[in-house]
Chains A and B, each alone.
Chain A
């Protein structure tokens, strides 16, 4: 039985940018602040018939300063999540992988292990 492949149209600023990314367990991972697209030669005329770029990754980065003052963070400081890990686009963007396996969660994990986890009761459920 063949499935009809669902295609829908979305706009980046309305449906992707500034959206919450949740991992497979619905734990918040990051906020999408940018998108990585397949490369297109910049400053070069684009040959007629070149295929349109596709989204290759969700990006997030330290945007607080750039949003106040303008510009954008250097590419090296942006965390990326492969588009292949995206499971669903709805009100939030759900991934098919768990947060622990992603590089982007290292700040949370570091604080969790070294500070919060060391305070008594930090690893327990609230009661």
Chain B
């Protein structure tokens, strides 16, 4: 399966109602003993109301400045949520269908203790 099979697909609930569009895919990356990112497992899909590109992902990251742009983009992506892999019932060329009783998780990326995004990861 290719990521393009998932991204930008219409996301529907079990009754066929459109919830939005899969705007991103979230992965949990686990390093092995040598620090290599050995496994990148799909956590779920980010469902957004609009088709527009994410643009730095302001609505999900801790980046707050410049504030007019951050405010505008968060407003534009209000209502976006994460749906976990376990809640995905079927993937078809037309849409992604969710299971009954799926949970809307917050779309914000988890931050580490410093409040920065965990995606900074190992030192460069």
Contact = CB atoms under 8 A, between A and B. Distances in A.
Q: Do chains A and B touch in the complex (CB under 8 A)?
A: yes
Interface of A: 3, 5-17, 34-40, 42-46, 48, 52-55, 59, 72, 75, 83, 86-91, 96
B93 to A, nearest CB: 7
Given A42-B93, A86-B36, 9 more contacts: A3-B33, A6-B122, A7-B28, A7-B30, A11-B119, A14-B61, A37-B42, A45-B89, A54-B41
| Interface size of B as a range | 35 or more
Interface string B1-23: 11111010000000000000001
B88 interface: yes
A83 B40 contact: yes
- Between A16, A45, A75, A89, the greatest number of chain B beta carbons within 10 A of the residue's beta carbon is seen for A89
Interface of B: 1-5, 7, 23-33, 35-37, 39-43, 46, 53-54, 56-57, 60-61, 85-86, 88-93, 99, 109-110, 118-122, 124
The main secondary structure of chain B at its interface with chain A is: mixed
Contacts of A96: 36
List the 8 closest pairs (A to B, CB-CB), nearest first: A52-B85, A55-B40, A35-B3, A90-B124, A8-B118, A6-B31, A12-B25, A52-B42
22 contacts: A5-B31, A6-B35, A7-B29, A7-B30, A8-B28, A9-B110, A9-B119, A11-B26, A11-B119, A13-B24, A13-B53, A14-B24, A34-B4, A37-B42, A40-B1, A42-B1, A42-B93, A43-B90, A43-B91, A46-B88, A46-B90, A59-B2
A14 B57 contact: yes
Contacts of A17: 3
